[in-house]
A = this chain, B = another copy of it.
Amino acid sequence: MRLSEEVEKMVSAIADDLASGAAELALQAINVFRTTLTDCGTDSLAEARERLTDTARAIVRAHPAMAPMYNLGTEVLNAADAANSIEEVNSTCGEALTRFETKLCSSASRIADLVYDLIPPGEQVFAYSFSSTVVSSLLSARSQKKFFRAVCTEARPSNEGRRLATMLASGGLEVMHSFDMSLGLILPTCRVAFMGVDCVGRPGLVNKVGSWMLGLACRELNIPLYALAGTEKFVPDDVFFAFEDHERPGQETWNNPPQGVKVLNHQFELVPFTFIAGLVTDDGILRGEAQIEEYVRNVKVHPRLEELAFASP
């Protein structure tokens, strides 16, 4: 099935966006499905299901490490499977999209409430990379008159840490910013650290490369590191390891290396649960592998998306 030019364009924009977090891109993916549903106007029931499957697969391929892409696709494809006519596809899938959108927003709001209590007033708070959940949580705390200073680093090579700094500052927070490797000097001035998450599974958390070093440094310095993730970030084992293949072009790190220098540019890495103080979710703060495993056990990915985890990127 050929996706419409508009849908292809929207998917490309999501794939090329390295500065936004997973929750933010999931909201954009919802719009891609809405456009796909419009494209289904003259489809047969079978054609509509095929079109939605292709959109779901294109979205997963755009960011295979971002769990909401799998879970959003699964919701839409399950809704399409349950429909008995093209009209029902429209209504059941439309409802599934609204449900997912509402869940994303209520997750963010519930997480922000929990984060509020984790910020010691008058202290410095570290935040890594870019995560819309982290931004909304910190700005929500600030708007509720909690005073604190945010500290963040560049998050090379895409520098989405600068976007984080800019958004936090524009929301009225005082921000201290430095380069990534200065963590050893600036973390000791912070009382708590936060990071977003792209994917949570039994083996641990997947997030932007550098999260492992952040977690290691936080553990060494006894600074509690909280990962913020709505339960829409949870995935079963089957699709967990898709992130490993996700390498970006080396030129993004160094655009003109001399001969003999091979430039690597990995995007994601695994952070063990032992590095974090807790996983702040819309269902409360989960601590330890056993508690997280209980949640992950109930997550199912639609069979037509499962195989993507093992496809070459």
> Hey, which bits of chain A sit against chain B, CB under 8 A?
154-157, 162, 165-166, 169-170, 172-186, 209-210, 212-213, 216-217, 220, 253-254, 257-266, 269
Contacts and interface: CB of A to CB of B under 8 A. Distances in A.
Contact of A178 (B170, B179, B181, B265): B265
Nearest to A180: B181
A184 B269 contact: yes
Interface centre among A154, A169, A183, A184 (most CB of B within 10 A): A184
Contacts of A260: 169-170, 172-175
A262 B179 contact: no
Contacts of A156: 154, 156, 179-181
Given A213-B213, A217-B216, A253-B177, A258 B166 contact: yes
Contacts of A213: 181, 183-184, 213, 217
A87 to B, nearest CB: 49
Contacts of A155: 181
Given A169-B259, A259-B169, A179 B217 contact: no
A1 to B, nearest CB: 37
A221 to B, nearest CB: 9
Q: Which 9 A-B pairs rank lowest in CB-CB distance, beginning with the nearest?
A: A181-B210, A169-B260, A184-B212, A156-B179, A178-B264, A175-B261, A180-B181, A165-B261, A169-B261
11 contacts: A156-B179, A165-B257, A169-B261, A175-B260, A178-B263, A178-B265, A179-B180, A181-B213, A182-B209, A184-B213, A216-B217
A111 to B, nearest CB: 24
Given A154-B253, A165-B257, A262 B181 contact: no
Contact of A216 (B179, B220, B266): B220
